Homo-oligomer: A and B are copies of this chain.
Amino acid sequence: MDISKTVTCKAPINIAVIKYWGKRDEKLILPVNSSLSATLHIDQLCTTTSIAGSKHFPEDRLWLNGKEESLENPRVKTCLQEIRKRARKRKISDDESNPEDWKLHICSENNFPTAAGLASSAAGYACLVATLAQVYGVQGNVSDIARQGSGSACRSMYGGFVEWLDGESSCGSDSIAQQVVDENYWSEMRILILVVSDQKKHTSSTAGMQTTVKTSELLQHRVTLIPGYMETMRKAIKDRDYRTFAELTMKDSNQMHAVCLDTYPPISYMNDTSRSIVQMVHDYNSFHGETKACYTFDAGPNAVLYVLEENVSEVLSLIHHSFPPSQDNKEYIRGLDSRIHDIPQGLQCAMKRDPNPGALKYIIHSKVGPQVVTDLELSLPDQNGMPKKFATWS
């Protein structure tokens, strides 16, 4: 089989501290407000995508986590179309076959279980678009294309802290992601993902946002508040002002979930375990008389905590105390090196809720990471452009 080009990329997930909730354009995925996130390090969580292009492939094909999926998914189609459109604009050098004639075999895998309820679509579409751009030699900001796959995917195109501008144009050309600071700027920042055990089926964020935009009267007000939040958050990050960063992160998360509750019928992503985590963080900050931890929640019950490196060990120890692992849980804390210790009696007493064993499945310890990594040696398809791992595939 004559494969003209194979490209592999890795893309990170991101966790917003100013949340995106609500679209002003469903098709182009234009948001009702700007948002801001940290990109997580790909060492802990990432999507890997390999694309093989060949004029000998009869058709485009797609495998997600080893399972072939239809390419009729309109969002995947849009990403392919948009990249090919942009590719036609660049000059093709003479020594290449024309990639416009290629069909693609796309293989994509996450290094974390989908069942964990971690939003994988951001990393997935960021990786798809980054890899496609490499295949077709498209340069420049392609975050607007990733955005059309999954809104928050545009933020995964960059490392560090990243903002996604709401933009004004009806065609979406100015609704793009851009870096606020890179991953080395606030290198003390650590991220703890608390994966909650009870993962019921939730309202998808796409459906949830639609209902919120249609029915929540409070959302209209939230939208007017966001420009101020964005300015405060940008400044807090640039000043490395943890307290302002943390308090606004918590307030913004709570407000996003408030507009979900104000939706009709109401949407609740947080459960009793989520609320216990909220209480634990506020009890912890009260105990110290200082904001040393903060939480944020996306469209599910998992909490993400942003904590400075110097406090990680204490916070992890407190989580371990408040949510002891169930007995058979050997890999309770994953990711970066973590040390836990017994927490002092005073801190134990400051916790208003009793320990809740088994309420968390596991914890991932990560940090702010770099942007999409392109053109890796590793390749998921074999020399025939078929997924390697799955011998039974035709």
Contact = CB atoms under 8 A, between A and B. Distances in A.
A255 B262 contact: yes
Interface stretch (A187-195, A237-245, A268-276, A317-325): A268-276
Given A271-B272, A272-B271, A272-B272, A218 B264 contact: no
Interface stretch (A1-9, A45-53, A246-254, A374-382): A246-254
Contacts of A275: 268, 271
A258 interface: yes
Nearest to A286: B265
A264 B254 contact: yes
A221 B258 CA distance: 13
Contact of A218 (B247, B255, B266, B268): B255
Given A222-B218, A272-B272, A261 B258 contact: yes
A278 interface: yes
Contact of A266 (B217, B247, B265, B278): B278
A292 interface: no
Contacts of A221: 217-218, 220-221
Contacts of A336: none
Interface residues of A, number: 26
Contact of A261 (B225, B261, B271): B261
Interface in A254-299: 254-255, 257-259, 261-266, 268, 271-272, 275, 278, 282
A278 B268 CA distance: 10
B272 A254 contact: no
Contacts of A271: 272, 275
Nearest to A278: B266
Interface in A207-230: 217-218, 220-222, 225
Contact of A254 (B222, B247, B251, B261): B261
A197 to B, nearest CB: 13
Nearest to A257: B261
A259 B217 CA distance: 12
A255 B282 CA distance: 23
Contact of A264 (B220, B251, B266): B251
Nearest to A224: B221
Contact of A265 (B218, B257, B259, B282): B282
Contacts of A266: 250, 254, 278
Given A221-B217, A221-B221, A222-B218, A254 B250 contact: no
A218 B216 CA distance: 12
A254 B272 CA distance: 17
Contacts of A222: 218
Nearest to A266: B254
B254 A262 contact: yes
A250 B264 contact: yes
Contacts of A268: 275, 278
A23 to B, nearest CB: 20
A266 B264 CA distance: 21
Contacts of A247: 264
A356 to B, nearest CB: 12
A224 to B, nearest CB: 9
A3 B303 CA distance: 63
A70 B285 CA distance: 35
17 contacts: A217-B221, A217-B255, A218-B218, A218-B222, A218-B255, A218-B259, A250-B264, A250-B266, A251-B264, A254-B264, A255-B262, A257-B261, A258-B261, A261-B261, A265-B278, A268-B275, A272-B272
